[in-house]
Amino acid sequence: MQYIKLKHITRMFAFVLCVLSNQITWAETPPLCQAAAKEANYNTDYLDNFITLKEGNDGWLFRDTDLLNTFGPGKKGYQRLRYLTRLLNEHGTRLLMVPIPTRGISHPEMLGEINYDTKAGRVAYIAHINHLRDIGIVVPKLEALFDKQHETPLFFSRDHHWTSFGAEQVAKITAETIQQQGFYKEAEKQEYQTKRSGLIEIEGSHQKAAATICASSYDNETIDAYTTENISEMDLFGDVAEAKVVLVGTSNSNGKQDFNFSGYLMQYSGLDILNLAKSGGGYDGAILDYLNSDDFKQNPPKLLIWEVPGYYKLNSKTFYKKMVRLLKTEEHKQRVANTDKNKREVVSQ
């Protein structure tokens, strides 16, 4: 009887310590089963996205795409990106890419016993974004995210999206880059304010995959939600300005759960930003839809922000063919011809 009481007391003591230290309990984060290590068990279209799950610290789950040692396309891919950048420039649009760093290089403290060389991963990621800069694409100083360990996570522990905090940190860095662009000085500025608006509860994509393979159960993660409002004195009956900055991207920027990336961009840049990101469209869905729209054809923006999770390789030849077809329109050819003619006239004077 004394042994049973002592056993119960020991369990209660461990539970209290867990609560006091604000750690996630075993009931919320069951251990990852051995079946998760076998690629053959990822046998549906959904599960195929999470090959293969690995267990980190404090309930974190990682997949192979969180643990990359190479980033970006091959040589041909960079050449195609350079050409697309030139075509956009000929439309009067500068391309700014936001290649979101992967979870493994962002939170090495959460890797636990996972065998991953974070330093090599960061070096490869930085080489990728420097290569994008070399071919004429504007890229914020995202490597600054590695300068310190973030006490508040940039990403969810069991989901592929960033948190509202992560979205804000990237937006701050991106806004600094926006302010360095030539059009910014003359652009109309507004005042924006961000406020807490409730909670976001998310059933993480990683944990859904783990629960399916391991027949386990996880608690959903909850974070604060935020919204940004324009608090400038505005003329409600005035002309609506054409969007000078357009955001395209993934569910990180515009999805079922709103992490307020576009709101933070507006707050820190002071610019109105048209958010046309698309949930479930991959890296290419939103940008292809936008370039095919009358809005782009008639009023190309000064700056096109393309949010892209860093694990995408951007190697698809089909994607580049579609982009070129959308950008090399008759209107574009005429615009380039007129520009060349004007240049020749100036030189001859």
Q: Which residues are catalytic?
A: 159, 161, 251
From the list 279, 280, 269, 282, the residue with the least C-alpha distance to 319 is 282
**Which residue stretches of 196-311 are H helix?**
205-214, 261-269, 285-291, 294-298
Determine contact, residues 102/311, Cβ cutoff 8 Å. yes
CA separation for the pair 348, 244 (Å, rounded): 33
CA atoms of 182 and 46, how far apart (whole Å)? 43
Amino acid (1-letter code) at residue 302: K
**Backbone phi, then psi, for 100, in 5-degree steps?**
-65, 125
Contacts of 53 (CB under 8 A, 6+ apart): 32, 36, 61, 62, 63, 206, 209, 210, 213
Count helices and strands in the chain by DSSP H and E runs: 11, 8
List, as own/partner pairs, every contact residues 343-347 make where C-beta atoms lie below 8 angstroms and the sequence separation is at least 24, other chains included.
none
DSSP type of residue 252: T
Amino acid at 126: I
Place of tokens 């990336």: 261
Give CA–CA dist 108/126, Å, rounded. 16
Strand 54-55 vs strand 61-62: parallel, antiparallel, or unpaired?
Answer: antiparallel
What token pair was written down for 8? 């119960």
- Tokens 């890797």 belong to 111
